[in-house]
């Protein structure tokens, strides 16, 4: 199995799960345990880029939250966790039970050394058909060409596969690495480095999807939305929020509230059913989570 773990405020716990890797708003810790691979995502610079918490939570199979400081920032993270319905582990630096009162969340306090066993024991849905890789970075490598980093979120990817970017560019997978080891294929949840043919690094954006068919970029979505009760937000037409889905981030304006409809400032590659979070300026900044039910190029 391959597990993605969000680790907000929990860099020490992430170090227990793997070795520090790349950074791009999130710091990646890559490890293996009892035949499973585990990648922990630690959001950085939260005061300036709180949306990275949403990135980590949306991508993750489970969540580890650090309790070294159980102040306002911890409270905001817990509110965000309550919206995604995923398993939450709390580190044992402090007793956070009082902070959890009034928040719809079930959390388990664990010692750091227990985390690898707890993560590896989680049930995970089997691989879907097809292929989807969410890309967070692309860059040139001498002697290799274009390399893209990302997660396999659906199906699997193999060497020599031909896949499409949202722009319509067709690429060929020349080679695959996972945990710095060359592999012939990679399944759901795997952090991969892909050597790509027929594309330049500058033609790939953070948040792009590699799929068997090009995923159209949508500028308007109709969605189901759930708000945190503590947020007390009156959603009104014209209101503007930050919009996070996977590695994609832009601003979004409310067009209608029934059905709930958003216009994205920058068109994004989205598939029906994709989850997203809304971010606002005041606390708790991540206050709502939704699912894209209908997608439109423009409206």
Report pLDDT digits (tens) over 176-194.
Answer: 999 899 999 999 999 999 9
Q: Given a cut of 60, is residue 105 above it in pLDDT?
A: yes
Would you call 116 helix, strand, or coil by DSSP? helix
Q: Given a cut of 70, is residue 294 above it in pLDDT?
A: yes
Could you give phi then psi for residue 211, rounded to 5 degrees?
A: -140, 170
Start-to-end CA distance of the chain, whole Å, equals 41
Q: How does pLDDT run across 213-250, given as a tens digit for each residue?
A: 999 999 999 999 999 989 999 999 999 999 999 999 99
Give 127's pLDDT tier (boundaries 50, 70, 90). low
Q: Which pLDDT value is given to residue 271?
A: 97
Of residues 276, 255, 166, 273, the one with CA closest to residue 217: 166
Average pLDDT over residues 268-296: 97
Q: Which pLDDT value is given to residue 124?
A: 76
Q: Which pLDDT value is given to residue 101?
A: 85
Domains of the chain: 2-120 (3.40.50.300), 131-211 (2.40.30.10), 217-296 (2.40.30.10)
Q: Given a cut of 80, is residue 296 above it in pLDDT?
A: yes
Q: Which pLDDT value is given to residue 111?
A: 93
CB 229 within 8 A of CB 289: no
Q: Which pLDDT value is given to residue 126?
A: 62
Average pLDDT over residues 121-129: 74
Q: Which pLDDT value is given to residue 119?
A: 94
Q: pTM for this structure?
A: 0.95
Give 49's pLDDT tier (boundaries 50, 70, 90). very high
Average pLDDT score, the chain: 95
Distance between CA atoms of residues 231 and 211, nearest Å: 36
Give 106's pLDDT tier (boundaries 50, 70, 90). confident
Q: Given a cut of 60, is residue 299 above it in pLDDT?
A: no
Q: Which pLDDT value is given to residue 94?
A: 96
Q: Which pLDDT value is given to residue 195?
A: 98
**What Å distances lie between residue 26 and 11, 55, 69, 126, 179, CA to CA?**
11, 8, 20, 26, 17
């Amino acid at each position: 199995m391959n597990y993605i773990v969000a680790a907000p405020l929990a860099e020490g716990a992430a170090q227990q799960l793997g070795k520090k890797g790349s950074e791009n708003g999130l710091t990646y810790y890559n490890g293996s345990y009892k035949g499973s691979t585990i990648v922990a995502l630690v959001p950085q610079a939260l005061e300036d880029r709180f949306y990275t918490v949403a990135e980590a939570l949306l991508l993750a199979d489970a969540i580890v939250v650090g309790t070294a400081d159980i102040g306002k920032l911890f409270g905001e993270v817990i509110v965000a966790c309550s919206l995604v319905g995923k398993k939450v582990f709390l580190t044992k630096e402090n007793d956070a039970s009082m902070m959890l009162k009034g928040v719809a969340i079930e959390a388990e306090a664990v010692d750091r050394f227990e985390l690898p066993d707890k993560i590896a024991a989680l049930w995970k849905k089997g691989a879907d058909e097809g292929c989807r890789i969410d890309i967070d970075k692309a860059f040139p490598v001498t002697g290799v060409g274009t390399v893209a980093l990302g997660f396999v979120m659906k199906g699997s990817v193999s060497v020599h596969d031909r896949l499409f970017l949202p722009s319509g560019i067709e690429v060929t997978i020349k080679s695959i690495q996972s945990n710095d080891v060359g592999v012939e294929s990679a399944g759901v949840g795997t952090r991969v480095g892909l050597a790509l043919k027929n594309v330049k690094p500058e033609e790939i954006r953070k948040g792009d999807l590699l799929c068997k068919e090009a995923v159209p970029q949508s500028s308007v979505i109709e969605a189901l939305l759930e708000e945190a009760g503590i947020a007390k937000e009156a959603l009104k037409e014209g209101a503007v929020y930050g919009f996070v889905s996977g590695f994609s981030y832009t601003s979004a304006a409310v067009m209608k509230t029934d059905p709930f409809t958003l216009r994205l400032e920058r068109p994004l590659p989205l598939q029906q059913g994709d989850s997203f979070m809304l971010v606002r300026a005041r606390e708790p900044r991540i206050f709502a989570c939704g699912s894209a039910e209908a997608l439109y190029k423009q409206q």
